[in-house]
Amino acid sequence: MSVPNTDVRSLVAAALPTPVPADEYDGCPVTGLLRLLSDKWSMLVLVLLGRQPYRFNELHRAIGGISQRMLTRTLRGLESAGLVLREVHPTVPPSVEYRLTPLGRSLLGPLSGLADWAVRHEPELAAARRPVTAATSSGPR
């Protein structure tokens, strides 16, 4: 991401009633987490795997509209972050199971905090949704 001058971690620490220690940090972990989750499928996969383990094609079917390539990439990303465990059973045909690691499961809580907020504030969000006036060149987000 080429971390910006301003560090998210020190910011949230200062912005909150119960600031975090923040004694030492090199690459802001908050930024890292956001980078990891800020794609089209990661959070969806996490939540699905939070319900039960899945095999590759099960997951592929459960999520409608994802390509094999993106599912693989997403799983690899989550795996390399230590949130998802990939278990290969050397049978024929091969069978691969994906499940959350304990670390991954522990993320479900905070994730749901955000989700809850979105659901609770849906009316206000819907009410606020006006075009504002004009966008800054190139189409809407």
Partner DNA sequence: CGGTATCCATTTCGATACTG
Partner DNA sequence: CAGTATCGAAATGGATACCG
Residues 22-51 within binding reach of DNA (CB under 7 A)? 39-41
Q: Where are the alpha helices (DSSP H) in 16-130?
A: 29-37, 42-51, 56-62, 68-80, 102-120, 122-128
Residue bearing tokens 């691969």: 96
58 binds DNA (CB under 7 A): yes
129 binds its own copies (CB under 8 A): yes
80 binds DNA (CB under 7 A): no
Query: What is the Cβ-side half-sphere exposure of residue 120, based on CA atoms within 13 angstroms?
Result: 6
Q: Between residue 41 and residue 80, which ones bind its own copies under the rule CB under 8 A?
A: 43-44, 47-48, 50-51, 62-66, 69, 72-73, 76-77, 79-80
67 binds DNA (CB under 7 A): yes
5 binds DNA (CB under 7 A): no
Q: Which of 18, 22, 104, 118 lies closest to 8, judged by CA?
A: 22
Positive or negative torsion for Cα 102, 66, 1, 136: negative
Binder to its own copies among 14, 87, 89, 95 (CB under 8 A)? 14
131 binds DNA (CB under 7 A): no
